Amino acid sequence: MARSRLMGAAGEVVTRLSVVLLLCMGCQPDSSRTADRTIPPNPSRASADSVFLFIDYTADRADTLRMVVPTPDSLTVLDVLRILTARDSIYLKTQAYAIGVLIEQIGDRKNGEGGFWLYTVNSEAIPRAASACAANAGDTIRFFFDER
């Protein structure tokens, strides 16, 4: 009797560990960084349930991040940026203004130190704060440090 309880408890532990491992594998970054050069996402991997985020720090240093969108119409560009930078431990600093939340710093690149953070959605420049722009499944978002 004690052995069957022990086996049952061991089976439950194994089951719980399997679930945790599967969840962790699903949260792993889909970063395509090779020697600090970004490899563009494979178009066959892009799907209607995903958002791709590119963070271009300089002309030769960037990150490519991907996330599956849980509810496509409920996220902003800022939400996507916050989720993915937190997931991949990339420093992000924002500041709230009357027009919305703007990006102050991503990684080691800070506004005012030789340039500013700008963004595009599907290669189109967006003239409003990232907090005021909806992110939809299938979008490609690109934050880039515009050096002045």
CA–CA separation, 3 vs 104, rounded Å? 59
Q: Are strands 115-121 and 109-110 parallel, antiparallel or unpaired?
A: unpaired
How far is the C-alpha of 78 from the C-alpha of 84, rounded, in Å?
A: 10
Q: Which of 70, 55, 32 is nearest to 108 (CA)?
A: 55
- 119-128 pLDDT per residue, tens: 999 999 999 9
Query: Looking at residue 65, what is its pLDDT?
Result: 82
Fold of 33-147: Ferric Hydroxamate Uptake Protein; Chain A, domain 1 (2.170.130)
Q: For 79-102, what is each residue's pLDDT tens digit?
A: 999 999 998 999 999 999 999 999
Residue listed under structure tokens 């690149």:
109
Bridge partner list, 110: 105
Overall pTM surpassing 0.85 (yes/no):
no
Contact 115, 146 (CB under 8 A): yes
